[in-house]
Amino acid sequence: MPAAAASDDARRIALEILEELDKGRTTLDRLMEKALGAHSHLQRRDRALVFALTYGVQRWRRRLDWVAAHFASRPFSRIDPTVRNILRLALFQILFFSRVPPAAAVHTAVEMTKAKVRPAAPFVNALLRNALRHRAQVPFPDPAKDPVAALGVELSFPDWILARWMTRDGAAATRARCEAANRIPLLTVRANTLKIDRERLAADWSGRELDVRPTLMAPDGIVVGGFQGAVDTLAGFAEGYFQVQDEAAQLAGLILAPQPGERILDACAGLGGKTGHLAALAADRACIVATDRSPDRLAALQIEMRRLGVCGVETRIADWTAAPAPRDEPAFDKILIDAPCSGLGVLGRNPDARWHRRQADLTRYARRQQAILANLADLLKPGGTLVYVVCSIEPEESIDVIGSFLHQRPDYTLPAPPAPLVSRIGRLIRADGAILTDPGRDPLDGFYMACLKRTKRA
C-alpha cells in the first residue's frame, strides 16, 4: 500500500475511534486495542499515527473546539458530530503536529468530509483554510477576568476539575498538573523477576537501540523512551519478561510486601497488572486469590499469568461492593484493594477521562470504595496488612475514605511506613503515613495508597 494511502487509512481509523468514543460506552485504550487488532495490516509508522491523532485530539479537545468555534459560521454545538471530529483531527495536525504539512491536513479533512458528510465539505474547507491563515489571531479568555476558563482553554481541561484544584492546591500546582497530563507519557514496564532481572532486560533492549533507563524508586521498573507501537512487539513480551506498569503502580506491591507462604487477596484484580507483581515479589510461592466482578477481565488475567509463568494465582468472580465475604472464607495475611475510582490521577495516560468524568462521580466512587473496605475488613487476620490504592488524588476518594474507615473500625490503624520503604519513597509519604504521588510534582502518575494494619479482632 502506498505511504499516502496508508496514512489516509490511519486518519480514517482515528476518526472511527473518536466517533465511537463520543458514544461513551468504553474507554479510549480499549477502542484503540480493538481498532488496531481489526487493522493488523497497518505498518508501525501508521499505527503510531493512529495513536498520536486520537490521543492528541483527546488531550487538546477543548482548545481545538475553541479555535474551531472562532472560525465557524454557526454554533459549534450545532455542527454534525462527525464533522466536529474531522475538524478536531485537522486542527490538531495544524496546531500541534509538525509531522503533517498543514495543507495536507486540510485536504485530507475535506476528502474525509466528502466521504462521510458530503454537504459539509465546503464548510470544512473554508473553516480550516481560514484557521490556517489566521490562527495567530484567535482570542482566548482573559486570565484576569476568568482564570479558570483561561487555563481551561489554554491547557484543554474542563472547568470543574480546574476550579477544585485551584481552590485546593493553588494556580501554580494546577498548571503543573495540567502540563504533566498533556505530555505524551513514556512507556514504563516492570521486569518479571520470575524470569529475568531488570539489568538483563535493559541490556537486551539497549542492544536493540531502545532508549531505556531504570525507574527511580521501583527496583524492577524500566522507562522506555521514544517507543511507539504495540507493546507485544517488544522483545521479550511473548516470553513473559515484563509487564506494562507505571512506576507509581509498582509501589503498591512494594508497600504490601508479599512473602512466600502467605495467603493474599487481590480484591479488584482487573487485568492482573498488580497480581503479577505480587506473585513475583513472593517468588510465586504465595497463595494469591485474584477476584474481579468481570469474567472477561479474569479470563484475560489468567492468560496474562500464563504468559508470566505465574502458577500460584486462583481466580474468582466477586463484587465486593455488593456483599461481604462468606463466613466460611479463611482469613488472609494480606489484602490489596486497587479500588475502582475516577482515574483523575492518570489523565496523562487516559486523556478521554477528563471529558467523561463529572463532579458527582467522586461521591459515587467514594461510596463504592467505602463498601469494598467494609465488606473486606473482617477477612484480614489480626496483625495483617491491607493496602488501599486509587489512581486518584481527590480527597473524596482517598483521605476521606480512609478517615471514615478508621473511624468505623478501631481495630485498624495507619502506622508509619517501615524504614526500608521510607528510605526508598520517603518524599512521597504524607504526615499521616499514607503515600501520595502528584503528577505535577513527581514524575509519576497520581496515586493515593494507605497501608493499614489490623491490630485485633473487631
Enumerate the active-site residues: 391
241 contacts 266 by C-beta, under 8 angstroms: no
Secondary structure (3-state) at 64: helix
CA-to-CA dists, residue 164 to 168, 182, 343, 402, angstroms: 6, 19, 15, 20
Q: Residue 457 CB: number of other CB atoms within 10 A?
A: 9
Whether 301 and 269 have beta carbons less than 8 Å apart is answered as: yes
Strand 313-317 relative to strand 332-338, pairing? unpaired
Question: In sequence order, which ranges of 226-357 are alpha helices (DSSP H)?
Answer: 247-256, 273-281, 295-308, 353-356
> What phi and psi, each to the nearest 5 degrees, are found at residue 340?
-60, 140
| Dist CA 317 CA 177 (whole Å) | 36
Q: Are the CB atoms for 121 and 114 separated by under 8 Å? A: yes
H-type alpha helices, 2-78: 3-22, 28-38, 44-59, 61-71
Rounded to whole angstroms, how far apart are CA atoms 362 and 449? 17
Q: Are strands 287-292 and 313-317 parallel, antiparallel or unpaired?
A: parallel
Write the secondary structure of 173-242 as one string of H (helix), E (strand) and C (coil). Answer: HHHHHHHHHHCCCCEEEEECCCCCCHHHHHHHHHHCCCEEEECCCCCCEEEEECCCCCHHHCCCCCCCCE
C-alpha cell at 204: 537486551
User: Contact 127/86 with Cβ under 8 angstroms?
Assistant: no
| Cell representation of residue 406 | 478508621
Distance, in Å, from the CA atom of 296 to the CA atom of 273, rounded to the nearest integer, reads 15
H or E segment to which residue 166 belongs: helix 159-169
Note every long-range contact of 163-167, with CB atoms under 8 Å and residues 24 or more positions apart, other chains counting: 164/359, 164/394
